[in-house]
Amino acid sequence: MVWMYSLQVVLFSLFLFGLALFSLRYAWWRFPVDYRRPRILMYHMVREPVSGARFNKLRVMPSRFERQIRWLYAHGWYFAFMSELNAPERLPRKTVCITFDDGYRDNFTHVHPILERYRARATLYLVADRLGRDWSTDKKAHHNTGELKREPKLTDDQIRQMLGSGHWQLGGHTMTHANLSRLDTKEKRQEILQAKRLLEKNFRTSLRSFAYPFGIYGKSDVGIVAEAGFETAVTTRNGISRDIPRERLELRRIKISGKDNMLAFRLKMRGG
């Protein structure tokens, strides 16, 4: 019977270890972050995971995404466009900005109908020259499986329909999803400014917010983004920004992963 006792000890230790990890990640015992501070959520794709793929964290299942939006809707969260953060004092308590990066086709086929159903809004950080590109290798050369390149991207017509519905706003994400740290000042300007002008002309809209590709940027990039006329910019740093006007060009986001269940989502909305 000793082995049974040992098994119980092992299982209990595993449970404690799991609880400790969970607690470290979600800090469920702490007070929620002040609900006057807007939450900015970061998404990429809403689609079924691909078996054995590297980037499944970027793929949130459609049924899960719908539950998340339904929960926000039912709990009185206000869905704001990123441009509304320009005047944060006018925003209600419990404001959430949904953001999508890159421009995957499922944003039209899966996300758009859900936004319509719950009268939600989202900001799309669109890569201007996105078709047939494999940007994952610009961060790490060994990410050369072509996984994100094969992922279908939004067409201009789909984007027009999305913008026409009033549920979407466009943001900048450079021409080619550039790794800004590898470019000289002239190239950076071209990537950031040219994409802004091109998208504004093509979709007859104005781009007021920017997302740094891969979340990689330096002080000079912040300067170029400001000079380009963007009012806000988002990073991939996790969390909830404390002071929007001061941090407006380096805002934090809450990463929503394909692995998050509903409890994880709710805890993230609470504490970042």
What's the min distance (Å) between Cβ of 13 and Zn ion?
40
Q: Which lies closer to Zn ion via its Cβ, residue 88 or residue 213? A: 213
Positions in 91-120 near Zn ion (CB under 5 A): 101-102
Considering the complex, what minimum distance in angstroms separates the CB of residue 143 from Zn ion? 13
| Nearest approach, Cβ of residue 171 and Zn ion (Å) | 11
Q: Which is nearer to Zn ion, 95 or 179 (CB)?
A: 179
Q: Which is nearer to Zn ion, 101 or 191 (CB)?
A: 101
Asked if 250 touches Zn ion (CB under 5 A), the answer is no
CB of 214 to Zn ion, least distance (A): 7
Site string for Zn ion, 154-173 (x = CB under 5 A): --------------------
Judge whether 37 and 241 are in contact, CB under 8 Å: yes
Contact predicate 125/99, CB 8 Å = yes
Quick one: 122 exposed, middle or buried, by C-beta within 10 A (0-12, 13-18, 19+)?
buried
173, 174, 177, 180: CA torsion to nearest 10: -110
Closer residue to Zn ion in complex, CB, 37/207: 207
Three-state DSSP class for residue 124: strand
**Least distance in angstroms from the C-beta of 134 to Zn ion:** 12
Q: Among the residues of 194-243, which ranges form H helices?
A: 195-203, 219-227
Identity of the amino acid at 131: L
Count residues near Zn ion (CB under 5 A).
Answer: 2
Q: Which is nearer to Zn ion, 84 or 101 (CB)?
A: 101
Q: How far is the CB of 100 from Zn ion (least distance, A)?
A: 9
Q: Could you tell me which residues come within 8 angstroms of residue 95 by beta carbon, excluding any fewer than 6 positions away?
A: 38, 39, 77, 78, 80, 84
Residue type, 110: H
- Dihedral (CA of 193, 198, 199, 201) sign: positive
- In the block, tokens 């799309």 appear at 124
Q: Is the CB of 102 or the CB of 106 nearer to Zn ion?
A: 102
Tell me which residue has its CB nearest to Zn ion: 101
Binding site for Zn ion (CB under 5 A): 101-102
